[in-house]
Homo-oligomer: A and B are copies of this chain.
Amino acid sequence: MKKKNFLEKNAAIVLFIALLVIWQLICTVFKVSEFIFPSPIQIGQNLFEFRTEILRHSWVTFWTTMVGFGISIMVGVMLGFLIGSSKIAYDALYPIMTAFNALPKAAFVPILVVWFGIGAGPAILTAFLISFFPIMVNIATALATIEPELEDVLRVLGASKKDIIVKIGMPRCLPFFFASLKVAITLAFVGTTVSEMSASNEGIGYLLISAGSSMRLPLAFAGLVSIGVMAMSMYELFAVIERKKTAWAHRS
């Protein structure tokens, strides 16, 4: 309603730059060596110097993550609907899913590699396995907590369970669906990277290990920066869609 000032409009960028400056200052003042914690300038130099390599690896990581993330949205939503709308599925699946998700996916990568060979297969699967859970949980919670008063509005029309989910469950859980997407996309990137770290010849995960093994921490951090940028872009994408689709919920 009121006009935003510069700070408000560019809060993220301002904070980001402030953090960079502080980080650089700490590194410079305390003479932190680059093998302990590289400074933004060192990272920037590496980002620039190896930009083609980093871009190539980033692209691999990006599309792999997107495929895995796409699967995880589908499966997460489906499982969420199942668990959120059936008491018995809730009781049966939820604890087992929780147990499964507490297992470090890195431990499964070797097994996936044995089945799918090295490359995109295990990475996609890891990204999926690690990231569907938050989606499932939020959708299930949103569905399980639908106000019966709203449900009755449809039930009185003779609506099927599916109608109720589509017309009430989905729109009502949209804000929390977006919330879970934000969590899931970060996990999907982690999953891809972790898988690439242990079985791949390309991708940021490979770059991390490769740079790490020759103790080139600034290059490894440049790879991390690239992941961060990709995740942030996805966040901004979600934020745009979210603003359009859930304005009604953010009306305060």
Contacts and interface: CB of A to CB of B under 8 A. Distances in A.
Given A141-B179, A146-B252, A252-B146, A11 B102 contact: no
Given A98-B231, A104-B190, A106-B106, A176 B15 contact: no
A33 B136 CA distance: 33
B12 A231 contact: no
Integer count of this chain's copies in the complex = 2
Contacts of A208: 104, 107
Contacts of A101: 183, 186-187, 190, 231
B138 A100 contact: no
Most-contacted residue by chain B among A104, A194, A235 (CB, 10 A):
A104
A145 interface: yes
Given A107-B208, A190-B105, A144 B95 contact: no
Interface of A: 7-8, 11-12, 14-16, 19, 36-37, 87-89, 91-96, 98-107, 110-111, 114, 133-134, 137-138, 140-141, 144-148, 151, 175-176, 178-180, 182-183, 185-187, 189-190, 193-194, 197, 205, 208, 212, 220, 224, 227-232, 234-236, 239, 246, 249-252
